[in-house]
Amino acid sequence: MNQTLTKRMATPTLLRAFSWVAIIEACTWVALLFGMYLKYVTQTTELGVRIFGSLHGAAFIAYVILTLLVARRQRWPIVWTTLLALAASIPPCMTAVFDLVARRRGMFAHAETSRTTPGERFDPHGQLVVETGP
């Protein structure tokens, strides 16, 4: 009798959402910096900070949540990869840079491209299926 264990891998939808939110977070950072320029340098309006500050706050929170989800699903090492991904949300535009570097290094490997060992396979839903002996 074979027992089947399953482990979840990040789905393409989750990885796509992570990438989009990384880009949106970077863009809202730039927009917030522009709003701060208008408020503090030209002293013309606070509207940019109010609008882009709210948008950036939402994008930041979404990025942190998606980073933790992807890190758990992809089994990223907590010390380096996960903390680096979270730290990328602090300097402007670094979330997009992290996304690009992570993709080039294969850190977003999905079920179809992930390496498996003998007795492992991926089902159509992206779950790693490990078949154990009798």
Q: Is 90 contained in some domain?
A: yes
Share of the chain above pLDDT 70, in %: 76
Q: What separation in angstroms does the CA of 39 have from each of 15, 36, 87, 91, 104?
A: 36, 5, 27, 20, 38
Q: Is 129 contained in some domain?
A: no
**Tokens representing residue 126 in the block:** 């992206």
d(CA 101, CA 47): 34
Q: Is 133 contained in some domain?
A: no
- Provide the domain limits for residue 28: 10-109
Question: What is the pTM (predicted TM-score) of this model?
Answer: 0.75
Q: Tell me the three state secondary structure of residue 3.
A: strand
Tens of pLDDT, residues 65-97: 999 999 988 888 888 899 999 999 999 999 999
Q: Is 81 contained in some domain?
A: yes
d(CA 49, CA 11): 35
* 66 secondary structure, DSSP code: H
Total number of domains constituting the chain: 1
